[in-house]
Amino acid sequence: MGLFVTKKDIEKFHVYFDEIGYHENNELDWEKFVEASIDKLDHTVDLDGTTWAASLIRECVQKWDTIEKIFEKKKDVWDQYDWGVSREIPKCKKKEAEGIYYLTNIFSDDAVDFVISSHDWGVDWNEIEYNGEDYVADDSNFFISEDPDDLECIYLYNKKGKIVCSIVQTEEGLALIDNKTVYAIQESAEGPIEVYPRAYYDSLKEGQSLDEEQLLLDFETRWIDEEYKHAVTKFRIYQETDDLDIPVFIAAAEIILGHNSYKLYKKLKRENDLMSLSTAFGKFTALGALNSLRPH
């Protein structure tokens, strides 16, 4: 079946490429597109802009076949549009991007592979990849794995294969159970999840306020689709920390748990719908039986 491409499609994706900063008139290059996209995320002013940029990038990834068809069949129309026109998403100054990191799975259709990037790393980025059982990153001492019997639980392991905490989504928010890491998290009703040294956090007495001087970093996640499948997380680093990959894995777990919660919700909704349908059918058949007993 051929792929039908309209002029509206061409104009839309040209605008998206312009906004992302991937100005291509010759040959599509996936790696260059990813590099430009990551640079765009790394230099957004705020999380609203990051989410907006991630949404545009995600649509380009989803429709990459369409974009390829444009370059194969409609490049003359593509070339009619100018670059440097679309600047709706503000770009921050390099100084403002320092100490900011991003995690996202928007380049993965099945949402299981993640990219970690930062202006501090230049054009380089790191990855968390799903190998069929675990989510792993090169040169990391940790990895995460889903509980096969509980979609609402993800385990964080050290390199020896020992569980160092369970990451769960509760009614109060994200929580670390049986936490043996050096970090503790504090989730507020609104705003980012804050990360503190666990030794300090555990020493707090009931009712004692948190000391902002102890705050190591915080992170906040935004989902960009209705299925809570693809998301972007922004990290702000306030102090130099060891094992930064632990908070990154915790944030990745939050994204995975978000989609798992959605799947559980859909499952329960289907079951409830079937139950309602069954109840309605039962009432219908019972009513039919009663009607059959009435004298005619």
Alpha carbon distance 57, 62 (integer Å): 9
Number of other CB atoms surrounding residue 146 within 10 Å:
19
Helix (H, G, I), strand (E, B) or coil at 45: coil
Alpha carbon distance 288, 187 (integer Å): 55
Residue 296 in any domain: the answer is no
pLDDT for 282 equals 44
Residue 116 in any domain: the answer is yes
293 pLDDT exceeds 70?
no
Q: Hey, what are 32's tokens?
A: 């260059």
12 and 145 both lie in a single domain: no
222 and 276 both lie in a single domain: yes
Q: Which of 91, 111, 145 is the last residue of a domain?
A: 91
Alpha carbon distance 42, 22 (integer Å): 14
77 and 122 both lie in a single domain: no
84 and 104 both lie in a single domain: no
Domain count, the chain: 2
Helices (H), 86-188: 94-97
Residue 82 in any domain: the answer is yes
Mean pLDDT of all residues in 247-251: 97
DSSP 87-109: --S-B--HHHHTTEEEEE-TT-T
Residue 182 in any domain: the answer is yes
Please name the residue that has the structure tokens 């889903």: 146
Q: Hey, what are 57's tokens?
A: 């990038």
53 and 106 both lie in a single domain: no
Q: Residue 178's closest CA among 201, 199, 155, 159? A: 155
146 and 275 both lie in a single domain: yes
State the burial class of residue 150 (Cβ atoms within 10 Å of its Cβ: 0-12, 13-18, 19+).
Answer: exposed
CB of 249 closer than 8 Å to CB of 231: no
206 and 262 both lie in a single domain: yes
Between residues 42 and 283, which one has the greater pLDDT? 42
pLDDT for 212 equals 92
From residue 75, give the alpha-carbon distance in Å to each of 22, 28, 62, 185, 268: 16, 11, 20, 50, 47
Structural domain range at position 83 = 1-91
290 pLDDT exceeds 50?
no
Give residue 179's identity as a one-letter amino acid code: N
Please name the residue that has the structure tokens 């909704």: 269
Residue 138 in any domain: the answer is yes
Q: Hey, what are 294's tokens?
A: 């009435």
Residue 175 in any domain: the answer is yes
Mean pLDDT of all residues in 113-133: 91
Is the whole model's pTM more than 0.75, yes or no? yes
pLDDT for 225 equals 92
Alpha carbon distance 234, 232 (integer Å): 7
Q: Hey, what are 177's tokens?
A: 């159970």
Q: Which of 45, 65, 91 is the last residue of a domain?
A: 91
Q: How many CA atoms lie within 13 A of 120 on its CB side?
A: 12
Alpha carbon distance 75, 118 (integer Å): 33
Alpha carbon distance 115, 236 (integer Å): 16
- In the structure, what pLDDT confidence band is assigned to residue 160 with cuts at 50, 70 and 90? very high
Q: Which of 59, 91, 123 is the last residue of a domain?
A: 91
255 and 122 both lie in a single domain: yes
277 and 189 both lie in a single domain: yes
216 and 172 both lie in a single domain: yes
pLDDT for 37 equals 96
pLDDT for 86 equals 83
pLDDT for 267 equals 82
CB of 210 closer than 8 Å to CB of 198: no
30 and 166 both lie in a single domain: no
Residue 274 in any domain: the answer is yes
Mean pLDDT of all residues in 99-109: 96
5 and 58 both lie in a single domain: yes
